Amino acid sequence: MSPLVAQTQWGWIERYRQQFAACAVTAEETVVLLAESRSRPEVVETARLALSALGVCPVAVVLPTPSNPGPLPIRSTGASQALAGNLAAMAALSAADFVADCTVEGLLHAPELGEILAAGTRVLMVSNEHPENVERWAHDPGLADRVAVGLSMMEAAATMTVTSAAGTNLVVQLPGSFCAGSHGWCTEPGSIAHWPGGLVLAFPGAGSVNGEIVLRPGDVNLTFKEYLRSSVRLVIENDYITSVDGDGHDAQLFASYLGAFGEPEAYATSHVGWGMNEGARWEAMAMWDKADHNGTELRAFAGNFLYSTGANEQAGRFCRGHFDLPMRHCTVALDGQPVVENGQLIPALRAETSQGFAG
């Protein structure tokens, strides 16, 4: 085979195998490998071989990627359009014990997810990253416990506040929120995880989010897969962005994208939370062309505050427009008690050997 042709590497297979094993996948289970026509071939093949290494004979469900009606490309939404309610595909997924989700956008916010999980299926959403990334993501069994501690703090709180020296001042009322922690693997029936993981999130109920967010250079727009080069100021009233200002083209691009879909829900809050993964790197995106990564690692790097717009099932909102915006150097507090201080996890949420995150 020509060295110019992409070849699946053993290191990728072994790392995928470890992650599937962490999900308690066994040869006795019914496993579906879910993909679509535009799925990254390296991801699908690596997942297939890793499942085979566990003695699993996966059932492949491959759907055509639907055409994008525009007006803009859609990236990193976590809301795959591929299923489109297909009855045969839904029957297969609902009958499975485990689904390796290798769709381009993933099932996390897909409208069909509730039905799949209600059947008892557990789903691992394999991020649409070049598999070379997984060589760096060593399995951290302690991450599950740390995420669980953070989640318990979130669930016990009534109010989240987020502040920064740049001017962020956001208040989130947590009663009525759906709170979730993702450490990157799933073992319970009817559960979903995304890989890489390491997040504590709240999907607030309707009308729960107010204040201002100020993004500054070095913060990340994961829909555009870019580090910001200029400041962007968002005013949020009863969940919805009502104003976008800034001193450069980043604000103009942001506002133009939000308005392009003609969906009012694109302006609304999807979820809020903070990153817990001390192996994830803020600067990793600088090493990849946009087509070769999905940026999930940057959602999870330890100490970031993640603000997202768009779909929020808890508030009954679905839409195609979506932003994930990991921010550095924020302080996140629950009922006045910090869980992140100026971009650093508090000691109770860190691994003993933590070196923190770069940047």
Is residue 5, in this structure, part of any structural domain at all? no
Judged against a pLDDT cut of 70, whether residue 353 lies above it is answered with no
Residues 16 and 38 in one domain: yes
Q: How large is the C-alpha radius of gyration of the chain?
A: 19
CB 334 within 8 A of CB 154: yes
**Residue pLDDT, tens place only, 304-352:** 999 999 878 788 887 777 899 999 999 999 999 999 999 999 999 998 6
Is residue 358, in this structure, part of any structural domain at all? no
pLDDT score of 146? 96
Is residue 76, in this structure, part of any structural domain at all? yes
**Residue pLDDT, tens place only, 120-133:** 999 999 999 899 99
Is residue 118, in this structure, part of any structural domain at all? yes
What is the DSSP annotation of 42-63?
HHHHHHHHHHHHTT--PEEEEE
**pLDDT averaged over the chain?**
92
**Residue pLDDT, tens place only, 63-118:** 999 998 877 777 777 778 899 999 999 999 999 999 999 999 899 888 899 999 99
pLDDT score of 354? 42
Residues 238 and 148 in one domain: yes
pLDDT score of 342? 98
Residues 128 and 150 in one domain: no
Residues 68 and 98 in one domain: yes
Is residue 246, in this structure, part of any structural domain at all? yes
Judged against a pLDDT cut of 70, whether residue 5 lies above it is answered with no
Q: How many residues does the chain have?
A: 359
Residues 217 and 77 in one domain: no
Neighbouring residues of 316: CB distance < 8 A, sequence distance ≥ 6: 206
Is residue 296, in this structure, part of any structural domain at all? yes
Percentage of the chain surpassing pLDDT 90? 76
Is residue 310, in this structure, part of any structural domain at all? yes
CA 117 distance to own-chain centroid: 18
Is residue 213, in this structure, part of any structural domain at all? yes
Q: Confidence band (pLDDT; 50, 70, 90) for 3?
A: low
Looking at residue 219, what DSSP letter applies?
B
**Residue pLDDT, tens place only, 273-292:** 999 999 999 999 999 998 88
Residues 206 and 339 in one domain: yes
Q: Give the number of domains in the chain.
A: 2
Residues 281 and 235 in one domain: yes
Measured distance CA(357)–CA(351) in Å, rounded: 12
Give residue 268's domain range.
142-181+196-349
Residues 317 and 207 in one domain: yes
pLDDT score of 14? 96
pLDDT score of 357? 32
pLDDT score of 358? 32
pLDDT score of 69? 80
Burial of 141 (0-12, 13-18, 19+ CB in 10 A): exposed
Residues 84 and 157 in one domain: no
**Residue pLDDT, tens place only, 168-215:** 999 999 999 999 999 999 999 999 999 999 999 999 999 999 999 999
Residues 166 and 81 in one domain: no
pLDDT score of 6? 61
Residues 127 and 148 in one domain: no
Nearest to 303 by CA among 351, 236, 246: 351
Tally of CA atoms within 13 A in the half-sphere of 131 that contains its CB:
26
Please name the amino acid found at residue 145.
D
Residues 282 and 177 in one domain: yes
What CATH number does the domain containing 50 carry? Answer: 3.40.50
Neighbouring residues of 239: CB distance < 8 A, sequence distance ≥ 6: 204, 206, 207, 208, 209, 268, 269, 315
